[in-house]
Structure 1
Amino acid sequence: MLMVKAIVRPEKVGVVLSELADAGFPSVTKIDVAGRGKQRGVRVGDVYYDELPKTLLLFVIQDEDKDDLVKLIMKNAKTGEKGAFGDGKIFICPVEEAYTVSSATKEL
């Protein structure tokens, strides 16, 4: 199993989750976060925004589903704006074990 952590722009979350659900990936944990990348924030006029709002999406999937999930996230989270930065990041981590709390069963 793998955990996929996707950081995306808040305005893209709806379309990303809709497309993933339609493709058979309905399970998600969604967390509102703030952060910055290499650009170190953004300046708009005289105002400097050190951190920008983002949404963290967490998925636990079977290894063989990784490529499909990542492609769908990248396709639907990208803004397409020329020179745009801050569209997001995707991280993949191994999951050694997972348990369902209500039934105390181990996920395979």
Structure 2
Amino acid sequence: MIKIDAIVNEDKMEDIKDALQKLKVNGMTISQVMGCGTQMGYREKIRGYDVDINVLPKVKFEIVVSSQEWADRTIDAICKCAHTGEHGDGKIFVYELADVIRIRTGEHGPKAVWAADQTE
């Protein structure tokens, strides 16, 4: 089982969500987050003062899939939607999971992860 965390520009959220739903990757958590990286922010005038804005709004997708095949599909879809070639496109972090437990049923492991090729 694999967890994918993707931190991307806010304006890519709907495109990514739609692409993942078309793949039948239906289980995801989406959060608004703030972050900084190589983009280094920008300078803005606020009430007549120059202010450095170096923590920028982003969107974080958290997705758990049952196999490497599903991880590859998911990562590919995110990359295709988020890529602009500019600083700030985002990052994807991939983790191996020791276990997943579905609280409702007590199922452990891949059976506890919703995937398109599984039925509940």
- Name the TM-score, length of structure 1 as normaliser: 0.87
Looking at structure 1, the residues matched to 77 and 34 of structure 2 have their Cα atoms a distance apart, in angstroms, of 23
CA contact (8 A) 2:38 2:87 kept: no
Aligned length: 105
Bigger Rg over Cα = 2
How many percent of aligned residue pairs carry the same amino acid?
29
User: SS of the residue aligned with 1:100?
Assistant: coil
Looking at structure 2, the residues matched to 25 and 39 of structure 1 have their Cα atoms a distance apart, in angstroms, of 30
1:44 Cα offset (Å):
4.0
Looking at structure 2, the residues matched to 38 and 7 of structure 1 have their Cα atoms a distance apart, in angstroms, of 14
Partner of 1:50: 54
Q: After superposition, what is the alpha-carbon deviation per residue over 1:24-83, rounded to whole angstroms, capped at 9, x for unaligned?
A: 2111011111010023322246331120000110111122222211111011012x3x6x
Partner of 1:10: 10
Partner of 2:33: 33
Partner of 1:106: 108
Partner of 1:97: 99
User: SS of the residue aligned with 1:105?
Assistant: coil
User: SS of the residue aligned with 1:55?
Assistant: strand
Query: CA RMSD of the aligned region, Å?
Result: 1.5
Looking at structure 2, the residues matched to 95 and 70 of structure 1 have their Cα atoms a distance apart, in angstroms, of 16
Looking at structure 2, the residues matched to 73 and 5 of structure 1 have their Cα atoms a distance apart, in angstroms, of 10
Show structure 2 runs of 5+ residues with no match: 111-120
User: SS of the residue aligned with 1:39?
Assistant: coil
User: SS of the residue aligned with 1:13?
Assistant: helix
Looking at structure 1, the residues matched to 81 and 98 of structure 2 have their Cα atoms a distance apart, in angstroms, of 29
Show structure 1 runs of 5+ residues with no match: none
Structure 2 letter corresponding to 1:23: L
